Amino acid sequence: MFSWLGTDDRRKKDPEVFQTVSEGLKKLYKTKLLPLEEGYKFHEFHSPALEDADFDNKPMVLLVGQYSTGKTSFIRYLLEQDFPGMRIGPEPTTDSFIAVMHGDTEGVVPGNALVVDPKKPFRKLNAFGNAFLNRFVCAQLPNPVLESISVIDTPGILSGEKQRISRGYDFAAVLEWFAERVDRIILLFDAHKLDISDEFSEVIKALKNHEDKIRYPSAGSAVTSAQKRFSPHTGLTVSFGRVVLNKADQIETQQLMRVYGALMWSLGKIVNTPEVIRVYIGSFWSHPLLIPDNRKLFEAEEQDLFKDIQSLPRNAALRKLNDLIKRARLAKVHAYIISALKKEMPSVFGKENKKKELIGSLGDIYKRIEREHQISPGDFPNLKKMQDQLNSQDLNKFQPLKPKLLEAVDDMLAHDIAGLMVLVRQEENQRPNPVVKGGAFDGTLDGPFGHGYGEGAGEGIDEAEWVVARDKPAYDEIFYTLSPVNAKVTGANAKREMVKSKLPNTVLGKIWKLADIDKDGMLDDEEFALANHLIKVKLEGHELPAELPAHLVPPSKRKLAE
């Protein structure tokens, strides 16, 4: 029926239906985006073609930083066990890229074997040659943390004379390859090495297009040279948007403030962003705290960082979808550039001169394409890098603009992606939260060493007596000045006293709902004492519970609460 209706028209009206996000991403890439990439040599200019493993792999965390900043130790802290090939020391110890992944047995898989394994997302690294592959291994081990995420340890970024020694492969290009495929990038800085080497500058530029994935843990501390010799973990762990100050327990509070300020000043010169960078401060190894003054701060910061890492599996599908959209936008712009150059090239004479002219005026071509197709300037590839790449290309072999290839990508972005977004939300809701378990993530989940246990609204959780009873005599004195009727004060009278705390009405309203256990719109002496206890909890900087914990329910109301 309706045979006159074209297939393309039906497809635009009815986006494809997929069972899983991974299946949808793979099919959309192969059928709609890959033809455009192949038609305009996208893989020679930007990024190799994606494979099934790129869509199926677990979330990955990439650790980057100068040597002796605690990258390997950070992994050891998360896993709570050694991994094959691990070496820790104050000197440059990790000289290889190590993919730490889950495996049934412990072992090391060399790089040349990794790049031929279709189940691993590393096959395209073969392009970097043996000099890199000889410095790339996969450390496999049975660890519950690695059931949900994988971690990539990297060689320390060199500085001074060391950076003059060639690695034999393009270090920045390898990092950029990983950056395109990982879910989180953690940059580590040493507080004693805040100067930026040439190699580190190249790394920052290579990661510039992946700022949404970057966190800044900072490793480093103001310790003596003798301390540093015996402590390979002195350092700062830093990331774009977030910073982690590692081994901060070795610094007195006043020194910590100075190191923090120096770190922020140094990062301000590197990261060109108006937003204030988030700094995580802590001690990410299992040794006793040398200076425990800021223990509570370290615990709170660690929990924030752990929550960020634990969210990765839950958000992995959305990240892959986002990366595919970014790739599609770049592929479209690339096609416009290539076809524009092809259009300007002569068919017979003066090819070489015209090529030089076009490459020199590439910035003007960018502006023309931007105006004609309403494309944001931020979607265009780096001008200088593109010019350098074009010098080695034969512009006559480029393809003219093929509208059908672009229409397929536009159709994908306009229709199919919307359908996948629904699947993404469904898959996120089906995942337990948090997903990453085991290792350091389990150490503070439950029991008395959980973050905030016995503090704030949790105070008195293990005590036989009602914790509010300690201050109840003082609260009772106030209660009886509020003209109670039938042993209860009205809401209006209670409000006059509660607003003296200067807390917002929204907060006081929540406290009222928690304290008015029998929901009669009035407070007896126990409920009034509970309301004042919750006010104190809030004024001390703690959050209010969503529901009243059992240990805070007044003794006379516990049967009612049940």
Distance of CA 358 to the CA centre of its chain: 40
Q: How far apart are the first and last CA of the chain?
A: 63
Tokens representing residue 76 in the block: 């050891």
Per-residue tens of pLDDT for the chain, all 562 residues: 334 344 444 444 556 677 888 899 999 999 999 999 999 999 999 989 999 999 999 999 998 887 777 788 889 999 999 999 887 765 555 578 999 999 999 999 999 999 999 999 999 999 999 999 999 999 999 999 999 999 999 988 866 545 545 678 888 889 889 988 898 888 777 656 666 667 776 776 667 666 666 665 544 433 333 233 233 333 444 334 356 777 777 778 888 888 888 877 777 776 666 667 777 787 877 778 888 888 888 888 888 888 889 888 888 888 899 989 999 999 999 999 999 999 999 988 888 999 999 999 999 999 999 999 999 998 999 899 999 999 999 999 999 999 999 999 999 999 999 889 888 888 877 776 667 888 888 866 666 777 677 788 888 888 889 999 999 999 999 999 998 999 999 999 999 999 999 999 999 999 999 999 999 999 999 999 999 999 999 999 889 999 999 999 998 888 765 5
Helix (H, G, I), strand (E, B) or coil at 102: strand
Tokens representing residue 169 in the block: 């492969």
Residue written as token pair 């495929």 = 181
The C-alpha angle 299, 302, 306, rounded to 5 degrees, equals: 140
Question: How far is it, in rounded angstroms, from Cα 102 to Cα 211?
Answer: 27
- Dihedral sign (CA 533, 539, 542, 543): positive
Tens of pLDDT along 238-268? 334 356 777 777 778 888 888 888 877 777 7
pLDDT of residue 291: 84
Q: Which helix (H) or strand (E) holds 196?
A: none
Tokens representing residue 462 in the block: 């293990």
> Residue 302 is which amino acid?
E
Structure-derived torsion over alpha carbons of residues 200, 205, 211, 216, reported in degrees to the nearest 10: 10
Helices 383-390 and 362-373: crossing angle, nearest 10°? 120
Residue 548 near residue 517 (C-beta atoms within 8 A): yes
> Residue 416 is which amino acid?
D
Residues contacting residue 482 through CB under 8 Å, at least 6 positions apart: 489, 493, 494, 496, 497
pLDDT of residue 370: 95
Comparing C-alpha atoms, which of 13, 1, 40, 10 is closest to residue 328? 40
Tokens representing residue 536 in the block: 């104190």
- Which ranges of 153-277 does DSSP label H, i.e. alpha helix? 171-181, 198-206, 225-230, 253-270
pLDDT of residue 93: 55
Question: How far is it, in rounded angstroms, from Cα 352 to Cα 405?
Answer: 29
Distances (CA, A) of 466 to 201, 335, 516, 532: 59, 71, 17, 14
In terms of phi and psi (left: phi > 0; alpha: psi -120 to 50; beta: otherwise), the region of 147 is: alpha
Q: Residue 79 has what DSSP assignment?
A: H
pLDDT of residue 228: 31
pLDDT of residue 90: 58
Question: How far is it, in rounded angstroms, from Cα 32 to Cα 408?
Answer: 5
pLDDT of residue 209: 66
In terms of phi and psi (left: phi > 0; alpha: psi -120 to 50; beta: otherwise), the region of 477 is: alpha
In terms of phi and psi (left: phi > 0; alpha: psi -120 to 50; beta: otherwise), the region of 80 is: left
Comparing C-alpha atoms, which of 470, 475, 473 is closest to residue 515? 475
In terms of phi and psi (left: phi > 0; alpha: psi -120 to 50; beta: otherwise), the region of 556 is: alpha
In sequence order, what are the beta bridge partners of 216? 239
Q: Which helix (H) or strand (E) holds 218?
A: strand 218-219
Question: How far is it, in rounded angstroms, from Cα 308 to Cα 184?
Answer: 9
Residue written as token pair 């790089």 = 111
Tokens representing residue 85 in the block: 């090939």
Residue 12 near residue 23 (C-beta atoms within 8 A): no
pLDDT of residue 451: 67
Residue 335 near residue 40 (C-beta atoms within 8 A): yes
Residue 335 near residue 45 (C-beta atoms within 8 A): no
